[in-house]
Amino acid sequence: MDQVLLRMEGISKSFPGVNALNQCKFELRSGEVHALVGENGAGKSTLMKVLAGVYHRDSGHIFYKGEEVDIPNPRAALQLGISMIHQELNLMPHLTVAQNIFIGREPRNKTIPFFISDSEINQKTEQLFSHMHLKLDPTTKVGNLSVAKQQMIEIAKALSYNAEVLIMDEPTAALTEAEIDELFRLIRELRDKGVGIVHISHRLEELKQISDRVTVMRDGQYINTVNTKETSIDQIINMMVGRTIYETSPDIPQDASQEIVLEVKNLSRGSILKDVSFNLKKGEILGFAGLMGAGRTETARAIFGADPFDGGDIYIKGKRVNIKSPRDGVIFGVGYLSEDRKRYGLALGMDVKENIVMSALHKFLSLNFWVDFLKTRTTSQSFVQSLNIKTPSLEQKVKYLSGGNQQKVVIGKWLTADTDILIFDEPTRGIDVGAKSEIYKLLNDLAHQGKSIIMISSELPEILRMSHRVVVMCEGRITGILDAKDATQESIMKLATQRTIILRENDTDNLTTEMGAA
């Protein structure tokens, strides 16, 4: 593992208004898993995109197998043996799994060379999946698959190139624990075969499991490279952020408000949601836990009006409401921050100012129905400052911001709309420890201001740290509601894997699960 496979020196890269990389360096050895960490905007993905040919460096040198190379585009990188799995999925939903994996490399029909041999593509895909221990039909349309399955297809596509350098940008962000274990098994197998692997992740607990060395970046600059076994996670965090991280548990006063602002009764939707009932109190952070496919996001989207439901009732401040669309949701004071912020939360081609005010544009209309641009600027600037959104200007397009700052823009949008009920679906997915800290503090501040928050998260430590109560779902049902003082990772996981429930008098305040019933 001592042989240096790749070395980058003095790499700099600038975009309009942003100096993304400044004299950065990186080294990768054969048969090594090298973690690359840093806050959002630190330059991790940019540095690896330079290596993968997505961006061309402004200055610096890249040495591969001892020789200096130029990588002008992704095809050149692949020809060298460098493959990258991007954080954002790059699949075509109308094509099959096999067609996506071998797009541009399709074998031809031996009888009629003008036609692609789908049978050969499917066979090669089956062989690849067999090696990965992945049970998936190669003929399935990608658009019909979950985000986790699509992520595994991206990984399979990268592995199909037989790369000697494999770059994984947040590969575990949308995977379950079982899928992560399987991915790590693959990574170790590839490492043992001499492949050099770059692992970019915000899940710092993964570093000890999978990496040999860790390189830390901050504000577009190289900070340090350390051996994983010899370095604590706290030391890595200190190098990443250079400041105190917010780790405070939520303040739960003894005389917490009992005022119910949202009540959901017997919400149902086919086999997806089954008699979902719960309530949300003023100033409360109500955590939603469960495994992937448990129905948490579907519940949130139904409450917000993004998805229809077959039966059940929704009450806001004691009044039954009829929410049939997101517009209705906003009118009744509900805001929803989707887990897929780029698809459902932002207009990527618009600037920061426009994104922040778009959910409440009616507030910025003058008497003659023209938009008051001075007011929009003043309002958006106040949220940029209060939420600490790092942007060169209000006119910066949000697609150029880091994931954490994009999430803050979405939060600013709903704060502008002044909704009383905020649903955060995976609020810290794909963002770094520093940005997580700021969002945790923001959630607590909003709760203290009287906002009521539903927080869906797949990270149990996050649920336990932030929630006043925890709702646990399994296969479309609520299997338990736990007070913060009674919730543990073990108790939540038992409920999250439990299909049979017994409710006590259908009282959502005292919803219990008899553990012996499962």
127-131, 325-329, 415-419, 459-463 — which one is most confidently predicted on average? Answer: 325-329
Could you give the angle at which helices 433-448 and 403-417 cross, rounded to 10 degrees? 10
Structure token pair of residue 101: 């994996």
What are the backbone angles phi and psi of residue 288, rounded to the nearest 5°?
A: -115, 120
Q: Does the pLDDT value for residue 167 go beyond 70? A: yes
CB 457 within 8 A of CB 426: yes
Q: What is the pLDDT of residue 171?
A: 83
Q: Does the pLDDT value for residue 217 go beyond 70? A: yes
Q: Does the pLDDT value for residue 83 go beyond 50? A: yes
What are the backbone angles phi and psi of residue 163, rounded to the nearest 5°?
A: -70, 150
Q: Does the pLDDT value for residue 29 go beyond 90? A: yes
Helix (H, G, I), strand (E, B) or coil at 180: helix
- 261 confidence band (pLDDT: 50, 70, 90): very high
Which CATH number applies to 4-241?
A: 3.40.50.300
DSSP label at 347? -
Q: Residues 215-226: what's their mean pLDDT?
A: 92
Taking residue 172's Cβ as centre, other Cβ atoms within 10 Å add up to 20
Q: Which long-range contacts (CB under 8 A, 24 or more apart) does 358-365 make?
A: 358/413, 359/330, 359/335, 359/413, 359/414, 359/416, 359/417, 360/416, 360/417, 360/418, 363/416
- 502 confidence band (pLDDT: 50, 70, 90): very low
- 370 confidence band (pLDDT: 50, 70, 90): confident
98-102, 112-116, 301-305 — which one is most confidently predicted on average? Answer: 301-305
d(CA 117, CA 108): 5
Q: What is the pLDDT of residue 131?
A: 79
What is the residue-averaged pLDDT of the chain?
85
Confidence (pTM): 0.61
Distance (Å) of CA 107 to CA 41, 127, 218, 270: 40, 15, 44, 42
The architecture CATH gives domain 260-333+420-517: 3-Layer(aba) Sandwich (3.40)
What is the b/e burial string over 239-255, where b = at least 16 CB atoms within 10 angstroms of the residue's CB?
bbbeeeeeeeebeeeee
What is the enclosing helix (H) or strand (E) of 59?
strand 59-64
- 114 confidence band (pLDDT: 50, 70, 90): low
First-last CA distance in the chain: 49
Domain boundaries, the chain: 4-241, 260-333+420-517, 349-418
Q: Which of these, 297, 310, 279, lies nearest to 339 by C-alpha position?
A: 297
d(CA 259, CA 282): 6
Q: What is the pLDDT of residue 436?
A: 77
d(CA 285, CA 443): 8
d(CA 104, CA 93): 16
CB 268 within 8 A of CB 275: yes
CA-CA-CA-CA torsion sign (107, 112, 117, 118): positive
Residue reference for tokens 């106040």: 382
pLDDT digits (tens, 9 = 90+) for 38-81: 876 788 989 999 999 999 999 999 999 999 999 999 999 999 99
pLDDT digits (tens, 9 = 90+) for 442-479: 888 889 989 999 999 988 888 998 999 999 998 899 99
